[in-house]
Amino acid sequence: MSKSIKLAILGLGTVGTGVINLISDNLDELKRRSGRDIIITEVGTRRQRDDIDPDITQNSDLMAIAASDNVDIVIEVIGGTTLAKDIILHAIKNGKHVVTANKALLAEHGNEIFALAEANNVHVAYEAAVAGGIPIIKVMREALAANKVDWLAGIINGTGNFIMTEMRDKGRPFAEVLAEAQELGYAEADPTFDVEGIDAAHKLALLASIAFGIPLQFDQVYCEGITDITLQDVNYAEELGYRIKHVGFAVRRDGNANSDGTDQTHSDSAGIELRVHPTLIPQNTLLANVNGVKNAVLVNSHPLGQTLYYGDGAGAGATASAVMADVMDLVRVLGSEADSSHSETNHGHHVPHLGFIPDQLSDTPILRAEQMITGYYLRVHAYDNPGVLADITRILSDAGINIDAILQKPAHKLGQVPVIILTLPVVESQMNLAIEKIEKLEATTGKVIRIRLDELA
Ligand code: HSE
C-alpha cells in the first residue's frame, strides 16, 4: 500500500470522538476504498486523555499541530470563530488541507478562508458543516452541477426540529426537550444558536452560495427562531392541514411578475431571498414529515425538478461520516503515489469551494425582509362583536391580500375570539401595513400573531 495519510483531529468533543470511533470501526473499508493507510498522528486537546491510543500524540498546542510535518490533513472540530479561524488560516499557510464542521466560521469568514486556500493550493472541505450526515454539499456542488437552482428549502437544524417534533407529538415542554438534545450531543455549545435560528442561518448561507454561485453573505440572512411558537398555533395549523416547521429558504426571484407595479401585493423585486424562520407547510409534503433530529433539504432546480435529501442532521456518527467523506476525497486529491507532497496534488480534479469558479461568483442582490414574498398564518384576537370579521377581511382585501382559509373559534375569554386566517403569498411590506391596520381596530386586541406559510410548490 502507498504512503499513509496522516490526520490531525483538533477537538475531542462529540464530533472529534465520533471521527476516532469511525476510523477504528471502519478502517478496513476506508483502506479498501482509498488504497491508503489512514492514520491519526496527532490530536489537539486541552487535557491529556487516557482513552486515546498511545501511538497518537496528544498536544494542547493546536497551532503547532496545524503546522506539523507529521500531518497531511487537519480536521478542525473545536468550533467557534476565533481560535478555529487562526488555526485554519495557519494550517492553510502551512500547506495543509483542512476538513471542518464549523458552519459558523465558514458562514462568517468563508470568503477569506477559501481565497487563502486557493492561493495556497489547498482545500477546505466542509461537508459536515451542513445537515450532518446528509451529503448535501457534494450533491449541490457535483451531482446537480448541470442544473440551475430556483430555490431550496431545508430543515437544517436537528435540535430545533427535535424540539418542535416532541412538543407537537408529546406536548413536552420546550426546556425539557432542549436539555435532552444537549445530552444527546445535538445542540451547539451555545444552544441559543439552535433555538434562535442562527445555526440554521449559518448553514443556509453556505447552501445558498453553492446553489446560486454567490459569495457567502451570512449577515444578509433574515433569521427567526422557534422560541415564540406556541402549542396553540401548532394545533390550529394542524387543524387547517399544515405543520409548523423551522425551515431555511434560499429563493431566486427573477423580478418578472407585475413589474409595472400595478399589483402591490406581488410586485416582485429581482434578487435572492435568504430566510430562516418557522413556517407552515402542507402536512402532506415529505418535508412536513421530517421529524426528530432528522434534516432534509428540498432542491428545486432546472431541468431536474424537485429532489429531496434526508438523514440525520446532528450527532456523532452522522457528523463523523461527513467529515470522513471529505477526508476520503482529499486522500484521492493527494494522489496515490508514494510521495504525497502537495506539489503532486491534483487540484484540477477538485470542485471549487463554492462549486463555481471563484471569479465567476455573481453579485445578485439579497432581498430585504420587506421585499420577501410568502403566504401568512395570522392569529387575530377579536371581540365577539357583529362585523369584526368583515372589518378584518376588508383590510386584507383593500390591501389586495388573498385569503385562503379562515377559522374562527368560539369565544373563550371575556368575549374574545381567536380568528385564524391563512393568506396566499404577499410581499411582506404589504402585509406589515395590513397588520398595523388590523391591530388598530377597536374590535381587536393585542398583537396579531403571524407565521409565514410556504406551499413548497
Ligand atoms: N446543533 C446542530 C443541529 C448540530 O442541531 O443541527 C449539527 O450542525
- Give 418-455 pLDDT, tens digit per residue: 999 999 999 999 999 999 999 999 999 999 999 999 99
- Residue 159: is its pLDDT beyond 90? yes
The CATH fold of domain 141-311: Dihydrodipicolinate Reductase; domain 2 (3.30.360)
Q: How far is the CA of 194 from the centre of ligand 1 (A)?
A: 7
* Res 262: pLDDT: 47
CATH 3.40.50.720 is right for the domain spanning 5-136+315-360: yes
Asked if 156 and 248 count as a contact pair (C-beta separation under 8 A), the reply is yes
Of 137, 117, 28, 73, nearest to 355 by C-alpha is 137
Q: In this structure, how many other beta carbons lie within 10 angstroms of the beta carbon of residue 132?
A: 30
Mutate to test the pocket of ligand 1, among 102, 156, 161, 194 (most ligand atoms within 8 A of CB): 194
Specify the higher pLDDT residue, 174 or 296. Answer: 296
C-alpha cell at 235: 394545533
Share of the chain above pLDDT 70, in %: 93
CA distance 206 to 199: 11
437 part of the active site = no
Encode pLDDT of 261-284 as tens digits: 445 555 568 999 999 999 999 999
Residues of the chain with CATH 3.40.50.720: 5-136+315-360
* Res. 255 pLDDT band, cuts 50 70 90: confident
* Residue-averaged pLDDT of the chain: 93
Ligand 1: which residues within 6 Å by Cβ?
132, 157-159, 186-188, 194, 199, 313-314
Q: Which residue has the least CA distance to atom 4 on ligand 1? A: 314
- Residue 339: is its pLDDT beyond 50? no
* Res 371: pLDDT: 96
DSSP per residue, 362-391:
--PPBPPGGG-EEEEEEEEEEES-TTHHHH
Inter-helix orientation angle 174-183/158-170, to 10°: 140
- Residue 344: is its pLDDT beyond 80? no
Q: What is the mean pLDDT of residues 350-364?
A: 95
* Res. 260 pLDDT band, cuts 50 70 90: very low
- Residue 107: is its pLDDT beyond 80? yes
- Residue 343: is its pLDDT beyond 80? no
Residue 130 CA, closest ligand 1 atom number: 8
Which listed residue (96, 103, 203, 294) is catalytic? 203
pTM of the prediction?
A: 0.94
Encode pLDDT of 369-407 as tens digits: 999 999 999 999 999 888 999 999 999 999 999 999 999
What is the CATH architecture of 372-453? 2-Layer Sandwich (3.30)
Q: How far is the CA of 301 from the centre of ligand 1 (A)?
A: 26
* Res 386: pLDDT: 86
